[in-house]
Structure 1
Amino acid sequence: GRVCKAAIIELNQVSGRSISEMEEALVAQSLHREDGLTQVEIAALVGRDKSWVSRRISLIERLSEEVQEDLRLGLIPVMTGRDLAKLPRGNQKEAAEAILKRRYSTREAAALIGYLISRPRWEYSAILARPWEVVEPRQPRPGGLGAKLISFRAICRAVLEGYHQCSPEQRRGIASLIDLAIGSAEEVAQSLKGETHDVPAQPPGA
């Protein structure tokens, strides 16, 4: 049992035979869960240090079942799997689907995940509905209020798409919330229009 599992990793070390980090992680997880070994014991068994074991087990246990399966099938690179592990498990599947759909490289996936981490969780769905606005920007992304305005635009589109998918009964159930949201949006729009009209034009060449 445990000796055979350890031999898989040792064979990789000695002979240079290539097995993926994911396969190493599966072996380490099995030794930990099924054989009841501590991380220190696993490290001694496979001739590695504890941090190596910790990284491998973390790669598995911090990922959702769906992302683990994508890794096993080779659909997602291990580097992207490590980045996805930084997200809450409940958001990993949606992020992985966006990455696979757009066929992002590991660098592009890291950029998308990094941006998600910097934003509150309630914005995730809106961002992932249009990931190219983060990964493939034509202009530098603004910060501060500019970033909030971009998020607001994405959220509005996501709400509209979600509304179109609701049944008539569901729409009636959220009618009061829709009226409240529209009222708030109109109030902001009117205020912003008044403010922007008062901003003096920038002189040519400034």
Structure 2
Amino acid sequence: MNQKSSHQTFNPAVGILAGLAILAGILFLADGMFAGRLGANLWPLRIIVPGVALFVGTLFMDEKIGVPLSIVSFTTTMTGVILMVHVLTDYWATWAYSWTLLFPTAVGFGLLAYGLAKTNPKLRRAGWSLTKAGLGLFLVFGVFFEFIIGLGGFGLNYGWPLLLISLGLFAFSLRGFDLKEYDRLLDKEADKKASF
């Protein structure tokens, strides 16, 4: 009599998604037990957690479906992050320019992260280009709306120092993250593995 083995192999994707489902369930349960008071300022987590979970899921998918879903996951996550900042600061006027963090920045982050995870240089470069463009637009529109138009009432008292700090951080981040060097290191690693 031929019996099939009841032994099943462990799938890491299922484990990660199960852990995220348990975490989300605990958060929703705690929120319900405290009649919503616990999450009064944390409700954007209801957007962030599914976005992160979706991205984790894309890591176990083929590129044809993984790339578009990684873009959706980062756009969802970035929406939650923007909403979290707005809720915590109670400063909603930044929607005038924070849309640039959704497109093209979040789209770029999605491509960049998926490209890094799947070691795809083409996706990494496209993602990094969109991310830089989005951060640049965010900076330009932020300066325009906050310091030239005076959307937040800061005026030029704080504007110039904040502008200089922002430009310095932006330039530093662009200089410190060299995808060409990263690609070169990955190619060396791939050559080492191929020689074994």
Structure number with the higher helix fraction is: 2
TM exceeding 0.5: no
User: Relative CO higher for 1 or 2, CA cutoff 8 Å, sep ≥ 6?
Assistant: 2
Normalising by structure 1, we get a TM-score of 0.29
- The structure number with the bigger radius of gyration is 1
